[in-house]
Structure 1
Amino acid sequence: MQNWLKHWPSQRQGALLALCLAALSVLPACTGLNQAAVNSLKAAYQGPNRNFEAAPRNPAYQYMQVEVPGAASLTVLGYQYSNLQVWYAAKGEVVRLQGNRLLDTTGLNVNLANVQYSAGPQANRTLAQFDVPELGLFNVQATLQLQPTQPPKSNLAKQASAQANAGKGLFWYSETYVDSQPLPAALEGLPPAIYGFARALPEGTPVNQLPLAVYGKQCLAPTYCLEWHRQ
């Protein structure tokens, strides 16, 4: 994700085209990004002194702040169908979410690909299969279990919590790996995913019926985690 914080090209049409080319699978959605959405993304890309909160927003669009180690971005929702959301960043990076989980990513230093989720043997468990091409991992299989947890200590998590529920904060849950067979060596020590919800989840809530989280964190490698805050 070396280009994550660079400015957009001077030619706005070229910028939008580059963004669309990075996600051919959802190309029709690119026509829905009007100039106001493009300008709000451009305003967020001002180097280390960027101010996401001060970036102009178009109320017709949804925005999400995304952070990875050493870089951050404001993204705009370009496509939504059922529980699938596709978020675009200024230099063509794409984050696709299926509900609250990463479905796949494009343009990062480490990416998820070919992710599949299915119902687990219990209501709070999910079966996952995924690739991490940069680590040489393919068809990794794991079982995820959702459970209450403590809030993460990152600045983005604190920001998301401070802005939620009139300052009352979020309710935190983690998805840990519970397989009897360990993950591949390249993923040894992979932290659990963490989600912050606007309300507590009733006990026994099936994972396929979760509300959208305000905050999410999912690690693609032991030292490379992606955080997002829906705004």
Structure 2
Amino acid sequence: MTSIAMRLEHDLLGDREVPDDVYYGVHTARALDNFPITEVSISRYPELVVALACVKLAAAQANRRLGLLDADRADAIVAACEEIKSGRLHDQFVVDVIQGGAGTSTNMNANEVIANRGLELLGRRRGDYARLHPLEHVNLGQSTYDVYPTALKVALQFAVHRLQAAMTELVAAFAAKAVEFGPHLKMGRTQLQDAVPMTLGQEFGSYAVMVGEDADRLVKQRC
């Protein structure tokens, strides 16, 4: 039987073993124990993962400009965040989408993954937090109450692209059905009473117009 290599990490509750091949750390491991609620991890929502990386990257750059973070640490954090933005390490964002603490576990999951990948880029081993720490360096000057709401807003902006593409496809489908169903007459209904007759094509044409207007509103909201 093959044993899994482990590394020992420490938090205020004490020591805790974490699998040596993962990028998350002790706080994330405890969250997995504490919140096994939906069995749906935050990695299911890539826009949120990328948004978290964007927030951490921006914070590292700001802290470097302020002289609060040295160049080597800042560069490692930025490089790790760029990898996450490109789609790497998303499988390491493992905490449940439903959790206590207003998103603290999500924030710590991001901090630990970025710190441990940053350590690798610095030529250090994962868990060597004296060199690059999830809280002292990756989360420097931040709070979950800063990070999580900001990341959610950024993620929504990213997600709008996919939603808008889907809505555009739906508008085209409704418009095609409007033409296909054009000859089919149906009884209109108003307040549960018979009203002016209309075609099924007109009905689907209305669907196309309404969804199209909503897609336009998305663009205006983003602007």
TM superposition score normalised by structure 1: 0.27
Report 1 or 2 for greater relative contact order, CA contacts < 8 Å, sequence distance ≥ 6. Answer: 2
What is the TM-score with the length of structure 2 in the denominator? 0.27
Q: Which is strand-richer, 1 or 2? A: 1
Kindly name which structure, 1 or 2, has the bigger radius of gyration based on alpha carbons.
2
Structure with the largest fraction of helix: 2
